[in-house]
Structure 1
Amino acid sequence: MKINVLLIEDDPMVQEVNRQFIERVDGFQVIGVGNTGEEGIVLAKKLKPDLIILDVYMPEKNGIQTLKLIRREGLNVEVIAITAANDRETIQTMLHHGARDYIIKPFKFERLHQALREFLLYKSRLSASGKLSQEELDQLNGSSVQSEIDMSVSAQLPKGLNHQTMKQIIHYMEKQAQPLSAEEAADGLGIARVTARRYLDNLQKTGKVHLNIQYGGVGRPLNRYSLWKSSSK
């Protein structure tokens, strides 16, 4: 399966970086670049991409206005936001209007790679023939047992932690076969190591992850974290 991607981004340097990052991921190709929201809408109608990578801070028509217009026009396309906008109101608005993911600049390739691979899995499962069971639909929507963890965790986050980042960490860990260190989680998600450690420590304190302490070698013991698989946790 080949995923056709349209970039809507006004900065030429960012356009090129995003293009290179996207085309490093197997199964993805950039088929067009819009320099403004208006130009992006025209290209979306003409090229009919599977996925739009959308900036928020753009002249004339910003990303929020562009996304609203995409929905109003009924364009059958998914959207991932990649932007420097990190205020809660903008994030909430973009997600409310159907952005599948939200990546804050500056970001690491690994974070975009994760988002694109998850999108490819979503698209391939949805494109298959036959009917979907409730379990399969829940997996597509990310609402399996781990989503129950998301909900219980979000209600007890201390000051300085936010639900969106916590959700990303939980979903990333869900896909790991082996326990992760804070450093490995940070590198995989494209966030600071101290940030990853704070979230993982909170998950451990609230009983959502299991802490594995590895001894041996020179230096401090290494903490590794893994999600409890039981829904009773």
Structure 2
Amino acid sequence: MVQEVNRQFVEQVDGFQVVGIAGNGAEGLRLIRELAPDLVFLDVFMPALDGRAALRELRSAAMPVDVIVVTAAKDPETIREMLRGGAMDYIIKPFKLERIRQTLERYRDRHESLLSAEKAVSQDDLDRMLLGGETWAQGQKPGYGEQETGPAEQASFAGLDEQQSSLPKGLNAATLRQIVEAMHRLEGGVSAEEAAEGIGIARVTARRYLDFLEKSGYVKLEINYGGVGRPINRYVLQQKPK
């Protein structure tokens, strides 16, 4: 019953589908080999083969699968072992469903960003993937040759700061700010693809942020029908929100 409830919840998050459910570690390893999923939810307390042994076998066999541990085990030794074994997240039961949603959305954004990358990933790009939109340099004072944020950008950011508490689920305030910064740099409006390339995220992720900004009145959507092929949506930053 718990497995079925969890399956229904996971599939409520865009981009995810449960392809298999196992009752123990040995069955889980068999299903992973057969179904080749991208991501596995792994418990520690399981019959036949527990989560520790299952994770060790996954890694020794070099199976290309990511692991999120969801378990009642909360002793430091177990947590360290699972994280050292390559678990990308560790969620302790009982958990809030929103916690699962957040980790799935972070995983989806990182997965999409890596799939869409067409060249070597920079440190800033990787920081955004791993830190949920933030980079090491964020918040640092501009160095030699860099420019301070201008009055127009400051005004836009002040308005955005008021919107951060009402961001839709799955949107990150730091990434939203970087989208606006990129739009200031790329004058004349941007497409979702250009915004994604500007800060190193997936196009579908950039589209979600741009759609939010358009609905909030911070950008204006312009549809370009010129040329052959599908029309291009361009987002133009407004001086003041409507």
1:58 aligns with 2:49: no
- Give me the whole-angstrom Cα distance separating, in 1, the residues matched to 2:25 and 2:89: 18
- CA-CA distance at 1:83 after TM superposition: 0.5
- Give me the whole-angstrom Cα distance separating, in 1, the residues matched to 2:79 and 2:59: 17
What residue is the counterpart of 1:70 in the other structure? 58
1:83 aligns with 2:65: no
1:178 aligns with 2:164: yes
Query: Helix, strand or coil: the match of 1:44?
Result: helix
Alignment equivalent of 2:103, drawn from 115, 124, 128: 115
Alignment equivalent of 1:93, drawn from 75, 81, 87: 81
Aligned residues: 141
Query: Helix, strand or coil: the match of 1:30?
Result: coil
Opposite residue 62 of structure 1, the aligned amino acid is D
What residue is the counterpart of 1:191 in the other structure? none
Query: Helix, strand or coil: the match of 2:110?
Result: helix
1:137 aligns with 2:126: yes
- Give me the whole-angstrom Cα distance separating, in 1, the residues matched to 2:94 and 2:112: 29
Question: Are the equivalent residues in 1 in contact too, given 2:67–2:88 (CA < 8 A)?
Answer: yes
- Give me the whole-angstrom Cα distance separating, in 1, the residues matched to 2:64 and 2:105: 20
Matches within 5 A, 1:204-219: none
| Residues 15/144 of structure 1: CA separation in 2 closer, same or farther (3 Å cut) | same
Opposite residue 46 of structure 2, the aligned amino acid is M
Give me the identity figure in percent: 47
- Give me the whole-angstrom Cα distance separating, in 1, the residues matched to 2:10 and 2:110: 17
Query: Helix, strand or coil: the match of 2:14?
Result: coil
Opposite residue 178 of structure 1, the aligned amino acid is Q
| Residues 111/130 of structure 1: CA separation in 2 closer, same or farther (3 Å cut) | same
Question: Are the equivalent residues in 1 in contact too, given 2:124–2:136 (CA < 8 A)?
Answer: no
For structure 1, the residue ranges without an aligned partner over 5 or more in a row are 1-12, 148-175, 181-233
* Structure 1 runs of 4+ with >3 Å offset: none
Question: Are the equivalent residues in 1 in contact too, given 2:127–2:136 (CA < 8 A)?
Answer: no
- CA-CA distance at 1:21 after TM superposition: 1.3
Alignment equivalent of 1:124, drawn from 91, 109, 112: 112
What is the alpha-carbon root mean square deviation over aligned residues? Answer: 2.3
For structure 2, the residue ranges without an aligned partner over 5 or more in a row are 139-161, 167-242
TM-score with structure 2 length normalisation?
A: 0.54
1:105 aligns with 2:93: yes
Q: 1:140-198 deviations in whole A, cap 9, x for unaligned?
A: 23383399xxxxxxxxxxxxxxxxxxxxxxxxxxxx96359xxxxxxxxxxxxxxxxxx
TM-score with structure 1 length normalisation?
A: 0.56
- Give me the whole-angstrom Cα distance separating, in 2, the residues matched to 1:44 and 1:84: 23
- CA-CA distance at 1:68 after TM superposition: 0.8
Q: 1:7-55 deviations in whole A, cap 9, x for unaligned?
A: xxxxxx2211211110111111100011111111111011000100111
Moved more, 126-135 or 79-88: 126-135
Larger Rg belongs to: 2
- Give me the whole-angstrom Cα distance separating, in 2, the residues matched to 1:146 and 1:59: 46
